[in-house]
């Protein structure tokens, strides 16, 4: 288990006073303090970790967020920002002495401009909610994390979320024009807006993916894009992961970059097929789902080229969708992958390393060996075009030994990702989950430099403590 810092004794001693102060800042039912009502906030998508907070604040405006932060800063109270609580890395895990600032009540769409191709939304608008607001005019918001039905744009900004289609359209950072954020002192700062590339330091780039370490985002200006005329998928199944990996390299080097290029290994294919009956070939060792965009005739041209590339790698089978319905059928298994694995195992850990795509066969072989050695099954699903690997490690949360083994296995996979030239996390964030692995990827001076940048915004380490950075300094565990 990963350690959390000890609660601040002075804060715990002044609990009632602090709660009364908070309640005065947000009228009505905007502050939760009763144990039973705090329960839903005690964890996020990394549900193996649970810790009820001191309180939950549910502001309805940037001004209220600023008031809460100013109050917490003055009183030395730690804060944990939270969107929908879908973080898979424990990014929204509370601390016993912290106030969770939940942004779900800030869910208004403030402005949409089709000629300027942008939308201004509050942080608690869901990812899919943005697309829903603009799709009537043929537009969409591009980053599409698996949790897009629930996850909120504020959380997407904090974690720099990705998705299956970022191969073409980029991740959250590449689709933002501006944010309004609040510093720990309660200062409201606007960055960017409707224009591209503000002069001055790239605050927008720094805050995106900062995991709540430097401020809380309350408003976001996103780029919206006109959707292509249509999209269509194909499926190609191969007899080994090496061959499928070589096919991925050939596709990426061909000059035709698909909008999505997904890879599943055999355990994942079987789990998905049993769950979704998508017609996946069960004798394949690896399967690629490839999607292209454009008009019908453009799709034919692109799929024809991709088919010809795949044919060079002796596929077991190929299926090119002839219609939108057939595309949906091809995607059905992949989109249900997490649920499918959840059905065959009581619990799973979803890992998120990135590797250079050429290392794919090597990494999958090593993961297979580790799986056998520790006795836990693993299914691999992978955004192959950009090297973002999602091994799903199956374990039983009721068995502490099984969980410990799963965590060790996961850490070993991430160390392997770094060893082959990749990184600890491609889109889920470091959070609490990968915090103690940071020294695997960064040298001590590199981490110290990042800490100094964080401290420029939050010298007291009140913003989302115990995430991202190994516990040191103001967060160091109490000596035994």
Partner 1 sequence: MSAEAGSRIAPADEAGVAAAVAAAHAEGVPLALEGRGTKAAMLRPVQAGRTLSLRNLTGITFYKPEEMVISARAGTPLAEIEAALAERNQQIGAEPPDLRALLGSGEATTGSLGGTVACNLSGPRRVVGFALRDLVLGVRFVNGEGEVLRSGGRVHKNVTGLDLCKLLSGSHGTLGVLTEVTLKVGPAGERTATLVLPVADEAAGVAALSSGLTSPYGVTGAAMLPEGASAAGVAGPVALLRLEDVEASVTYRMARLGAALPGGRVVEGEESRALWRAIRDAAPLAAAAGEAVWRVSVRPSMAPGVVVALRARIGARVMLDWGGGLVWVAAAATAEAHSAVMAAAAGARGTFTLFRAPDPMRVSVPVIPEEVPALAALSARVKAALDPGGRLNPGRMRAGL
Give the residue with the Cβ less far from partner 1, 103 or 204.
204
Our finding on whether 468 is near partner 1 (CB under 8 A) is: yes
- State whether residue 169 is helix, strand or coil: helix
Tell me the C-alpha to C-alpha distance, in Å, between residue 461 and each of 119, 140, 209, 455, 467.
33, 37, 17, 7, 11
CA 193 – CA 181 distance, rounded (Å): 12
Give the residue with the Cβ less far from partner 1, 7 or 294.
294
Nearest distance, CB of residue 38 and partner 1, angstroms: 29
Our finding on whether 386 is near partner 1 (CB under 8 A) is: yes
Give the residue with the Cβ less far from partner 1, 273 or 291.
291
Q: Which part of the chain contacts partner 1 (CB under 8 A), choosing from 9-17, 332-340, 363-371, 447-455?
A: 447-455
Our finding on whether 308 is near partner 1 (CB under 8 A) is: no
- State whether residue 165 is helix, strand or coil: coil
Per CB under 8 A, the list member of 194, 339, 375, 439 interacting with partner 1 is 194
Our finding on whether 408 is near partner 1 (CB under 8 A) is: no
Count of residues that bind partner 1 according to CB under 8 A: 95
Give the residue with the Cβ less far from partner 1, 275 or 382.
382
Our finding on whether 112 is near partner 1 (CB under 8 A) is: no
Distance, CA of 167 to chain centre:
15
Is 467 in contact with 46 (CB distance < 8 Å)? no
Our finding on whether 228 is near partner 1 (CB under 8 A) is: yes
| Closest to 124 in 3D by CA, of 96, 149, 154, 164 | 154
Give the residue with the Cβ less far from partner 1, 403 or 442.
442
CA 10 – CA 99 distance, rounded (Å): 15
Per CB under 8 A, the list member of 346, 375, 421, 477 interacting with partner 1 is 421
Give the residue with the Cβ less far from partner 1, 38 or 225.
225
Is 327 in contact with 321 (CB distance < 8 Å)? yes
Give the residue with the Cβ less far from partner 1, 23 or 256.
256
CA 273 – CA 165 distance, rounded (Å): 22
Nearest distance, CB of residue 316 and partner 1, angstroms: 23
233 φ/ψ angles, rounded to the nearest 5 degrees: -115, 160
Give the residue with the Cβ less far from partner 1, 149 or 448.
448
Nearest distance, CB of residue 275 and partner 1, angstroms: 26
Tell me the C-alpha to C-alpha distance, in Å, between residue 182 and each of 67, 118, 121, 171.
10, 22, 16, 23
Nearest distance, CB of residue 362 and partner 1, angstroms: 14
Q: Which part of the chain contacts partner 1 (CB under 8 A), choosing from 39-47, 125-133, 157-165, 366-374?
A: 157-165
Residues between 53 and 82 with contacts to partner 1, criterion CB under 8 A? none
| Closest to 348 in 3D by CA, of 357, 356, 338 | 338
Q: Crossing angle for the helix pair 266-276 and 324-335, nearest 10 degrees? A: 120
Our finding on whether 111 is near partner 1 (CB under 8 A) is: no
Our finding on whether 138 is near partner 1 (CB under 8 A) is: yes
Per CB under 8 A, the list member of 16, 29, 34, 197 interacting with partner 1 is 197
CA 413 – CA 237 distance, rounded (Å): 25
DSSP H stretches of helix in 30-110:
35-38, 62-74
Per CB under 8 A, the list member of 1, 28, 443, 478 interacting with partner 1 is 443
Q: Which part of the chain contacts partner 1 (CB under 8 A), choosing from 11-19, 47-55, 221-229, 306-314?
A: 221-229
Our finding on whether 200 is near partner 1 (CB under 8 A) is: yes
Sheet holding 118-122, edge to edge: 109-113, 118-122, 216-223, 176-182, 188-192
Nearest distance, CB of residue 386 and partner 1, angstroms: 4
Q: b/e map of 282-294 (b: 16 or more CB within 10 Å)? A: eebbbbbbbbbbb
CA 257 – CA 32 distance, rounded (Å): 48
Our finding on whether 234 is near partner 1 (CB under 8 A) is: no
**How many helices, marked H, and strands, marked E, lie in the chain?**
17, 19
Is 56 in contact with 102 (CB distance < 8 Å)? yes
Q: Which part of the chain contacts partner 1 (CB under 8 A), choosing from 53-61, 148-156, 244-252, 311-319?
A: 244-252
Q: Which helix (H) or strand (E) is 292 found in, with range? A: strand 286-293
CA angle 40, 44, 46 (to 5 degrees): 135
| Closest to 267 in 3D by CA, of 285, 289, 242 | 285
Our finding on whether 196 is near partner 1 (CB under 8 A) is: yes
Give the residue with the Cβ less far from partner 1, 88 or 392.
88
Q: Which part of the chain contacts partner 1 (CB under 8 A), choosing from 59-67, 144-152, 235-243, 442-450?
A: 442-450
Per CB under 8 A, the list member of 57, 128, 171, 376 interacting with partner 1 is 171
Our finding on whether 110 is near partner 1 (CB under 8 A) is: no
Our finding on whether 358 is near partner 1 (CB under 8 A) is: yes
DSSP characters for 96-132? TTEEEEE-TT---EEEEETTTTEEEEETTSBHHHHHH
Give the residue with the Cβ less far from partner 1, 294 or 336.
294
Give the residue with the Cβ less far from partner 1, 28 or 200.
200
Per CB under 8 A, the list member of 3, 39, 113, 283 interacting with partner 1 is 113
């Amino acid at each position: 288990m990963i350690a959390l810092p000890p609660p601040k004794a002075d804060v715990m001693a002044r609990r009632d006073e602090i709660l009364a102060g908070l309640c005065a800042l947000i009228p009505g039912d905007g502050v939760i303090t009763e144990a039973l009502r705090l329960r839903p906030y005690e964890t996020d998508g990394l549900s193996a970790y649970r810790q009820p907070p001191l309180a939950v604040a549910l502001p309805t405006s940037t001004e209220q967020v600023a008031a809460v932060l100013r109050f917490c800063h003055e009183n030395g109270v730690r804060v944990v920002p939270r969107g929908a609580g879908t973080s898979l890395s424990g990014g929204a895990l509370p601390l016993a002495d912290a106030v969770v600032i939940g942004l779900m009540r800030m869910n208004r769409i403030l402005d949409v401009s089709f000629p300027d191709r942008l939308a201004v939304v509050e942080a608690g608008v869901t990812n899919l909610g943005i697309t829903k607001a603009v799709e009537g005019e043929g537009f969409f918001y591009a980053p599409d994390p698996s949790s897009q039905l629930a996850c909120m744009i504020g959380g997407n900004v904090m974690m720099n979320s990705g998705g299956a289609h970022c191969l073409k359209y980029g991740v959250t950072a590449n689709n933002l024009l501006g944010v309004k954020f609040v510093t720990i002192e309660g200062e409201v700062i606007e960055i960017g807006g409707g224009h591209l590339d503000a002069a001055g330091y790239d605050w927008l780039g720094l805050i995106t993916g900062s995991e709540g370490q430097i401020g809380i985002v309350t408003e976001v200006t996103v780029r919206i894009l006109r959707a292509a005329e249509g999209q269509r998928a194909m499926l190609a199944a191969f007899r080994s992961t090496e061959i499928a990996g070589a096919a991925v390299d050939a596709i990426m080097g061909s000059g035709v970059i698909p909008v999505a290029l997904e890879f599943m290994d055999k355990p994942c294919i079987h789990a998905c097929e049993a769950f979704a009956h998508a017609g996946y070939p069960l004798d394949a060792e690896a399967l690629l789902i490839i999607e292209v965009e454009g008009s019908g005739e453009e799709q034919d041209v692109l799929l024809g080229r991709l088919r010809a590339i795949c044919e060079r790698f002796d596929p077991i089978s190929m299926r090119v969708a002839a219609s939108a319905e057939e595309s949906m059928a091809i995607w059905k298994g992949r989109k249900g992958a997490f649920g499918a694995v959840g059905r065959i195992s009581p619990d799973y850990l979803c890992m998120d390393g990135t590797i250079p795509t050429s290392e794919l066969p090597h990494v999958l072989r090593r993961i297979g060996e580790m799986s056998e050695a520790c006795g836990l099954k693993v299914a691999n699903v992978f955004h192959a075009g950009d090297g973002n690997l999602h091994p799903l490690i199956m374990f039983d949360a009721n068995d502490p030994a099984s969980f410990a083994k799963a965590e060790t296995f996961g850490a070993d996979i991430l160390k392997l990702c770094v060893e082959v030239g990749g990184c600890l996390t491609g889109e889920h964030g470091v959070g609490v989950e990968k915090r103690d692995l940071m020294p695997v990827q960064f040298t001590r001076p590199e981490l110290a430099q990042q800490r100094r940048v964080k401290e420029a915004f939050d010298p007291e380490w009140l913003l989302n403590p115990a995430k991202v950075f190994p516990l040191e300094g103001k967060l160091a565990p109490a000596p035994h």
